[in-house]
């Protein structure tokens, strides 16, 4: 296993790069998770505004309207002083003024007259409050037309409830797990780490005196290739093992209760195979450490940006998505997003299809690498 040990020796020399990429990956993942938690909404809640109410009626329907607005907004009762109202609106102490006229029920509910309001010009909040006022007035007019008294209509207009039932069309109850972000950035980690480490291993063995010594060695070329593949596979599996162990430590309870857990791991293994084959190719064509660094940066960042690792696929244009389908990272992210956004039973077939396409990419890159290696060795 001399050749195997030589590859591992080169890998150990790049341990610093290995650890640096791991730290970058975990840092990015934790940052985006915290941002996601900040943006999480536990339930729908209407936005409250500061509304001034000038009540010239004081009867049941007027009290009902103020109670209705008070459930959503901060209602401030004020006198009908134009100067004070304008001053408070100018300094944004209030954003909307509602004037309830005398005999409000008869004039605005029964006769359908407009309710007096004052709003900040060009403010979108005016449309928001106006929609709520119209909803209340229309409900009250329906009760009045049905023969309700003012007190009955006032009580019914406030207590009317609307029940909304959300359909779980995605099969995941609308929940997005934290580990979706963890797996989303795996392509960058795999391509970056394996691009440098595996690429350095392959490049070191195929240039200079070491290449000539291996060609003159008594170890058959086939065995050299097998031991080299074994060494690169060892590095890749160590990386995958660290990632899988970290996922269990960070999201053990969530992952254990998710039926899609094996598919997340299978998807990551498929991406690992792609990264190994790409790294072999990069290491085979690079002419030194400088060219290797440049190629790894272009390949890893390019694939991840276009494939949806850094920029979500749903915000990309149709043209970019079509082009991204020719990249393996796109299919990894497609499977990851499907697992995170839908129930497993709904997307199982599409996830397996995306994993299969990644394996096709891995085989294709491996074939290209073999062709390049054969050409470089002088055999036609």
| 5-49 tens-digit pLDDT | 877 887 888 788 788 878 887 887 777 667 655 544 444 445 678
pLDDT at 98: 92
**Burial code of 47-56, b = ≥16 C-beta within 10 A, e = fewer?**
eebbbbbbbe
Convert the pLDDT of each residue in 207-235 to its tens digit: 666 666 666 666 666 777 777 778 888 88
Chain mean pLDDT for the chain: 81
Q: Which of 108, 109, 196 is nearest to 144 (CA)?
A: 109
Convert the pLDDT of each residue in 294-315 to its tens digit: 888 899 889 988 888 888 777 8
pLDDT at 371: 82
Cα–Cα distances (Å) from 285 to 202, 221, 354, in that order, read: 10, 19, 28
Compute the distance between CA of residue 188 and CA of residue 201 in angstroms, rounded to an integer.
19
Residues 6 or more apart from 276 whose CB is under 8 A from it? Answer: 194, 198, 232, 233, 236, 362
Compute the distance between CA of residue 375 and CA of residue 284 in angstroms, rounded to an integer.
11
Section 187-191 average pLDDT = 88
Residue-by-residue DSSP string for 182-202: HHHTHHHHHHHHHHHHHHHHH
Check: CB of residue 341 under 8 Å from CB of residue 170. yes
pLDDT at 40: 47
Please work out, in degrees rounded to the nearest 5, the angle formed at the alpha carbon of residue 257 by the alpha carbons of 27 and 178: 25
């Amino acid at each position: 296993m001399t050749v195997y040990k030589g590859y591992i020796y080169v890998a150990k020399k790049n341990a610093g790069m290995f650890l640096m990429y791991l730290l970058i990956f975990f840092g990015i993942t934790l940052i985006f998770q915290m941002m996601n938690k900040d943006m999480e909404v536990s339930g729908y809640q209407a936005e409250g505004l500061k509304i001034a109410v000038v009540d010239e009626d004081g009867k049941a329907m007027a009290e009902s309207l103020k109670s209705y607005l008070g459930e959503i907004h901060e209602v401030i009762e004020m006198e009908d002083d134009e100067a004070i109202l304008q001053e408070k609106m100018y300094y944004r102490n209030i954003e909307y003024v509602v004037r309830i006229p005398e005999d409000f029920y008869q004039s605005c509910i029964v006769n359908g007259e407009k309710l007096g309001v004052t709003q900040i010009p060009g403010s979108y909040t005016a449309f928001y409050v106006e929609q709520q006022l119209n909803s209340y007035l229309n409900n009250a007019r329906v009760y009045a037309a049905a023969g309700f008294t003012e007190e009955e209509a006032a009580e019914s207009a406030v207590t009317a409830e609307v029940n909304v039932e959300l359909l779980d069309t995605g099969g995941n109850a609308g929940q997005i797990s934290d580990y979706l972000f963890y797996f989303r950035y795996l392509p960058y980690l795999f391509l970056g780490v394996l691009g440098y480490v595996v690429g350095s291993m392959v490049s070191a063995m195929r240039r200079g005196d070491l290449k000539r010594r291996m060609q003159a060695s008594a170890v058959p070329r086939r065995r050299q290739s097998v031991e080299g593949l074994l060494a690169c596979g060892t590095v890749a599996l160590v990386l995958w093992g660290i990632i899988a162990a970290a996922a269990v430590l960070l999201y053990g309870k969530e992952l254990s209760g998710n039926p899609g857990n094996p598919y997340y791991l299978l998807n990551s293994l498929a991406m690992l195979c792609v990264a190994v084959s790409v790294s072999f190719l990069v290491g085979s064509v690079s002419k030194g450490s400088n060219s290797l660094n440049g190629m790894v940066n272009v390949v890893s960042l390019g694939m991840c940006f276009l494939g949806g690792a850094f920029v979500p696929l749903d915000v990309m244009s149709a043209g970019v998505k079509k082009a991204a389908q020719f990249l393996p990272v796109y299919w990894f992210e497609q499977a990851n997003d499907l697992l995170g956004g839908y129930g497993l039973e709904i997307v199982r077939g599409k996830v397996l299809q995306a994993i299969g396409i990644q394996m096709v990419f891995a085989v294709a890159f491996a074939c290209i690498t073999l062709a390049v290696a054969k050409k470089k060795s002088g055999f036609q």
